[in-house]
Amino acid sequence: MRLGPTIFNGDLKPGQKLPPERTMAKLFQVSRTTIREALRALEHNGIIEIRAHEGSFIRAIEVQTLIKDMATAIIKAEDNMVYDMLDVRRGIEAECAALAASRASSLDLEKIRKSLDDMAKSEQDEELGLTADLNFHYAVAQAANSPILFDLMKILVTRMKDTIRTTRRYRFAKPLRFTETFNDHKEIYIAISVNDPERARKSMTKLLVEIKEEIAQMQLAD
C-alpha cells in the first residue's frame, strides 16, 4: 500500500506513531533534515510527542490539524528554497493527480476542462494564463476528493503563484513553449479522464520536473 493515501485519507489517529523520517521525506520529496526540523516544530507546538528510540506519536488532535501544521512547518523550513518547494509540490500534486484519476466526478472533470479552455485562450493574456494555470492545479487537487490533500494545496497555492508566474514568463519567451505547456496540462487531464492513475501521476511529475529544470536554467542565465 502506498503511504500517501493512508495518511491523506485520515487513517492516522491520536496516539498512533507517525511513519519514519525517511518515509515522510520520500512522501513530501524533501530532505530528512527538513522533516526533522518540521517534526521538532510540531513537538514544540504540542502536536506530536517525540520519544527517544521509539519515534513520533500523534497527540490528541484532529488529523487535519496535524497535516496542516506539518505542511506549514515544511514550508517554513524550506523558506525561499524554490527547488524544495517544487519537490513538495511534486509529492503532493502527483498523488492528487493519481487519486483524481480514480475518484474524479463529472463535475470535477468539467472544472479541470474549464481551466484548460481558459489556458488555451491565454497566450496573449498573462493574468488569464496565470489564473487558469493555478485553477487547473487547484481543480486537480479538488478532484482527488481527499480533504487533507486539498487543505495542503490551499496552504501552498499562494506560494505557487509566484513560481508559476516566473516560469511561465521564462517558458513563453521561447517559440512553441506555450503550446508545449498547454499540451503537458492536457495530458494530465486526459490521464485523469480515462481513469489511469499511474499515467496521471507520471504526467504531473513530468510537468513539475520540467519546471524545476527551467528554474535551474534561469538561475544559470542570471
Give CA 28 to chain center in angstroms. Answer: 9
Query: What are the contacts of 200-209 at 24+ separation with CB within 8 A?
Result: 200/97, 200/98, 200/100, 200/101, 201/94, 201/95, 201/97, 201/98, 203/97, 204/90, 204/93, 204/94, 204/96, 204/97, 204/140, 205/90, 205/94, 208/86, 208/89, 208/90, 208/93, 208/94, 209/90
Instruction: Give the residue with greater pLDDT, 212 vs 80.
Output: 212
pLDDT at 5: 40
Using the 3D structure, point to which of 59, 77, 95 is the last residue of a domain: 77
Share of the chain above pLDDT 70, in %: 77
Identify whether residues 177 and 159 lie together within a single domain: yes
Instruction: Give the residue with greater pLDDT, 49 vs 110.
Output: 110
- C-beta of residue 188 within 8 angstroms of C-beta of residue 96: no
Highest averaged pLDDT of the listed ranges 5-9, 103-107, 160-164, 209-213: 103-107
Instruction: Give the residue with greater pLDDT, 36 vs 74.
Output: 36
Q: Find residue 48's DSSP bridge partners.
A: 58
Range of the domain at 27: 3-77
Q: Does 53 score more than 90 pLDDT?
A: no
Using the 3D structure, point to which of 77, 106, 139 is the last residue of a domain: 77
- C-beta of residue 85 within 8 angstroms of C-beta of residue 74: no
**CATH code of the domain containing 67:** 1.10.10.10
Give CA–CA dist 116/29, Å, rounded. Answer: 27
Instruction: Tell me how many domains the chain contains.
Output: 2
Instruction: Give the residue with greater pLDDT, 179 vs 69.
Output: 179
Identify whether residues 89 and 46 lie together within a single domain: no
6-50, pLDDT tens digit by residue? 444 455 566 778 888 888 887 776 788 878 878 887 787 677 888
pTM of the predicted structure, to 2 decimals: 0.64
CB contact set of 52 (below 8 Å; sequence gap of 6+): none
pLDDT at 99: 96
For residue 2, CA distances in Å to 99, 189, 220 come to: 12, 22, 37
